[in-house]
């Protein structure tokens, strides 16, 4: 695993990045990367991916037994509070607008920015992507990063005088 400190020590002249597509689904603009590990074209895309990552982590956490117990306790406390309080004259709307109306069917696709739900099939229960284009996009990025890490490791070995076996 290559650390960020190792990358910062390398001179910028060693980075010759080609143009590539933004990994975030929905953007997919071409951009000239400033660093070999760059995946996104702009700060806006990075912020959107950060929101996507938080939502995906929240969905994953909500499926755990610990979260279900905590949420049921919260619901029980809320029901007790409402019983204790008098009913107000104002009726609550039956349908609320917002993110709480979304169905919680399954996990979100593993491609950054893709909010499609992944419903695992019997054939592939460990499925992480909603479609083939998402899977191919992630595979290309991960393969590119793997090759880059190998080249960086080879450069470090050649500088240190270690030969490959």
What does the pLDDT look like over 1-29, one tens digit per residue? 454 455 555 555 555 677 888 888 888 88
Q: What is the pLDDT of residues 99-135, one digit of tens each?
A: 555 555 668 888 888 888 888 788 888 888 888 899 8
Establish if 51 belongs to a structural domain.
yes
- Is position 137 within any domain? yes
Residue 53 has pLDDT above 60, yes or no: yes
Secondary structure letter of residue 90 according to DSSP: S
pTM: 0.56
Residue 163 binned pLDDT confidence (cut-offs 50, 70, 90)? low
The DSSP secondary-structure symbol of 105 reads -
Q: Alpha helices, DSSP H only, in 85-131?
A: none
Cα 84 from Cα 56, distance rounded (Å)? 36
Q: Tell me, what's the pLDDT at 47?
A: 92
Q: Give the domain extent around 134.
A: 19-79+107-159
Residue 55 lies in a domain: yes
The pLDDT of residue 50: 92
| Long-range contacts of 150-154, Cβ-Cβ distance < 8 Å, separation of 24 or more | 152/2, 152/6, 152/10, 153/2
Per-residue confidence (pLDDT) for residue 88, from 0 to 100: 57
Is the separation of the CB atoms in 109 and 116 below 8 Å?
yes
Number of domains in the chain: 1
pLDDT at 83: 79
The number of angstroms, rounded, from the C-alpha of 1 to the middle of its chain's C-alpha atoms is 20
């Amino acid at each position: 695993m290559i650390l960020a400190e190792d990358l910062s020590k390398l001179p910028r002249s060693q980075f010759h990045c080609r143009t590539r597509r933004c990994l975030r689904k929905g953007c997919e603009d071409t951009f000239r990367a400033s660093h070999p590990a760059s995946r996104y074209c702009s700060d806006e895309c990075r912020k959107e991916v950060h929101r996507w990552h938080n939502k995906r982590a929240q969905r994953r956490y909500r499926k755990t037994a610990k979260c279900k117990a905590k949420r049921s306790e919260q619901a029980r406390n809320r029901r007790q509070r409402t019983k204790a309080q008098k009913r107000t004259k104002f009726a609550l709307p039956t349908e609320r607008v917002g993110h709480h109306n979304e169905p919680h069917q399954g996990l979100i696709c593993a491609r950054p920015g893709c909010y499609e739900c992944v419903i695992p099939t019997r054939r592939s229960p460990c499925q992480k992507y909603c479609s083939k284009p998402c899977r191919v996009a992630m595979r290309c990025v991960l393969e590119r990063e793997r090759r880059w890490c190998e080249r960086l490791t080879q450069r470090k070995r050649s500088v240190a005088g270690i030969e490959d076996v």
